[in-house]
Amino acid sequence: MPEHFEIILRSITSFGLLLIGTRILGKQTISQMTIFDFVASISLGTIAANLAFNTSVKVSYFIIAFVIYVVIIFTTALISLKSRKGRKFLAGDPTIVIQNGKILEKNMNKMRYTLDYLNHQLREKDVFNIEEVLFAIIETNGTLTVLKKPQFRNVTRQDLMIPITPEFNLPIELIMDGEVIKENLEQNNLTESWLHLELKKRNLVQHDVLYAVLSVVEICMLIHMRIIFIHQLIKNK
């Protein structure tokens, strides 16, 4: 087999393996990563990359190594799920960097975490004055969690004694890209005839609607005027 064809096939195999491995391991591998997730992702990526272009090593060896890594990662993930100690060992503990408004320099030095970076992450949380912070914690995935002092927190409806209307359902998509989503209708005990009736009340037909959502209160219809216009032009021709 010509070498460039082999590389093409190996690249496709490599991509397929990565896709399968990620699907098996779940969304954790693409979310904010812990140290363990980071090491696991780099290892899988390295094996997959070598499979694509390192023609001096047999494909079967890479596949075996890849499968072993997936099994190890999956097993350790299960251990983390079942055991708090295992989860603590693999992911570590959150680290408090601000406590009761005071910066804990020792904790920051242990992580080699600078004030500049702390201020940077605080600004990402819309905190531009460090004096507003009561607690700040570096989570195991590297993100910063901030609790502001009471006088700097946002006012809620409960604070203002405003009555709250409970919401029990998420908005339900009924039409997407002009097509009726039958599964969503069935799951909510609705029918297509009901949907067409609601459209008729608004002087619409299905092919005029790009997107339709059933909200908690009412049906919201978003009409894509360009699609309607193109449809009418085709009819005229």
Q: Please tell me if the domain spanning 95-152 has the same topology as the one spanning 172-236.
A: yes
Looking at the DSSP bridge assignments, the partners of residue 73 are none
Q: What is the C-alpha to C-alpha distance for residues 165 and 161, in angstroms, rounded to an integer?
A: 13
pLDDT tier, 218 (very low <50, low <70, confident <90, very high otherwise) = very low
| Cα 156 versus chain centre, distance | 27
| Cα 178 versus chain centre, distance | 26
Q: Where are the domains of the chain?
A: 3-89, 95-152, 172-236
Tens-digit pLDDT profile for residues 20-47: 766 666 555 555 566 677 777 788 888 8
CATH 3.40.440.10 assigned to domain 172-236? The reply is no
What average pLDDT score do residues 188-192 get? 86
CATH 3.30.450.20 assigned to domain 95-152? The reply is no
What pLDDT sits at residue 132?
94
CB within 8 Å of 91: residues ≥ 6 apart: 34, 35, 36, 80, 140
Q: What is the pTM of this model?
A: 0.58
pLDDT tier, 136 (very low <50, low <70, confident <90, very high otherwise) = very high
What pLDDT sits at residue 101?
93
